[in-house]
Homo-oligomer: A and B are copies of this chain.
Amino acid sequence: MQTLWDYRYAQRTQSMKGSAIRELLKFSERKEIISFAGGMPAPEIFPVDKFRKACDKALRENGAACLQYGSTDGYLPLREMIAHYATRYGINVTADNILPTSGSQQALDLIGRIFINPGDRIMVESPTYLGAIQAWNAYGAEYIPVPFDEHGMITGKLEDRLRAGIKFIYVLPNFQNPTGVTLSYERRLHLIELADKYGVPIIEDDPYGQLRYEGEHLPAVVVLDSQTRSQETCYSGNVIYLSTFSKTLAPGIRLAWVIAPTEVVQKLILAKQGTDLHTSTFNQIATHELAKGGFLNEHVKLIRKVYRERRDVMLDTLEEHMPQGIKWTHPKGGLFLWVTLPTDLDAKVIFNEALKKNVAFVPGAAFFAEGGGHNTLRLNFSNAKPEKINEGIGKLADVIKNHV
């Protein structure tokens, strides 16, 4: 249909592209599909009943506040609770350092809005989280990719890049999306040392930190940065830390948070005002009601048990079925693992053939900010049940075998 809007799009709109993943999710909603595509939690262990009771209590006791406009800053008891848990994890902050957001995607967007000028260079892991690239492309960001190995971002390759002028470094240290790889303790320290040397701040995105299935918890980059700077380990403010209720409670409520210096929080609040006024008061109050007694700490134990089993099934099945020449990562937590095919094999070809057998995944190229990765793919192991993982990986291996 021809309308008066047709020739009126802004310049930035011409370059907007849909996320490959969001497009793929449409396939994966088909019932017959075994999907390793999205980053979806296992719906059968959502704490539906607990959340329902929390909503009920919030509305019975605090109904008018739940339904009324709230301040852009967010619901104070929620911010205090988040600050309390953060402090327990070694991030010594108060409620004034916390901004609740409508999912971490909004946090990424707001960060882009207040920090990124067109042409600014952001240092990212290669591959990196697609949602960050999508958010920051809107502000004209450019990307300086850093390659990874089984210990995460190769910090030995940082220094030349840091000297080339970087606005900030974006890192997902725990069970990275898409690779599943964890940044080692030594590299965390190295990253901090180099960031400090060149005066470059860091965005630490940590949606999966609590979903560890083996090995010891590693201190967050934000914690190590503060420890190296002060004896009291006050929050240094040089690392902005993002986390979310999407993986420990549920993504459908769209609730996440930013931890940042108070000055940055104030700027994010200004940006958020113009964007959506505030995050749902009801969702904030209900989530606080559910989480305040420590329920999520208990619930995360169930999530870990279920996802660990699924990860193990996927690793075992890959081991059993995949032909020689195919490599994959061994994530110690999170939702994803990363498969590397022989260099002459295109994951999109495999994708199309797998889809005919009702198996979906995400071809890896989408995760490379500056191109490449045609022979890689991301597999999610949290959403499908073990028997489906077994079946789906078997089918995927059959498709790949036809090509190697």
Contacts and interface: CB of A to CB of B under 8 A. Distances in A.
Contact of A106 (B55, B59, B200, B276): B276
A114 interface: yes
Contacts of A250: 67-68
A29 B260 CA distance: 26
A167 interface: yes
A109 B277 CA distance: 10
Count copies of this chain in the complex.
Answer: 2
Nearest to A46: B67
Contacts of A273: 18-19, 22, 134
Contacts of A264: 3, 5
Interface in A240-286: 240, 249-254, 260-264, 267, 269-271, 273-283
A48 B63 CA distance: 6
Interface string A2-22: 011110111111001111001
Most chain B CB inside 10 Å of its own CB: which residue of A13, A115, A199: A13
B43 A64 contact: yes
Contacts of A109: 274-276
Interface in A174-192: none
A51 B59 contact: yes
Nearest to A278: B254
Interface stretch (A135-143, A211-219, A354-362): A135-143
A133 to B, nearest CB: 9
A386 interface: no
A68 to B, nearest CB: 5
B4 A199 contact: yes
Contacts of A237: 1, 3-5
Contact of A252 (B40, B105, B282): B282
A85 B111 CA distance: 38
Given A72-B22, A240-B5, A254 B279 contact: yes
Interface of A: 1, 3-6, 8-13, 16-19, 22, 25-26, 29, 38-41, 43-44, 46, 48-49, 51-52, 55-56, 59-60, 63-72, 102-103, 105-106, 109, 113-117, 120, 131, 134-135, 137-139, 167-168, 195, 199-201, 236-238, 240, 249-254, 260-264, 267, 269-271, 273-283
Given A3-B238, A48-B66, A137-B274, 11 more contacts: A4-B237, A8-B115, A13-B114, A16-B114, A18-B273, A44-B64, A66-B252, A67-B253, A103-B276, A105-B274, A109-B274
27 contacts: A1-B263, A5-B238, A5-B260, A5-B263, A9-B114, A10-B115, A10-B117, A10-B139, A13-B113, A13-B114, A13-B115, A17-B270, A26-B71, A43-B64, A46-B67, A52-B56, A68-B250, A102-B102, A103-B277, A105-B276, A106-B275, A131-B274, A131-B277, A254-B276, A254-B279, A276-B276, A280-B283
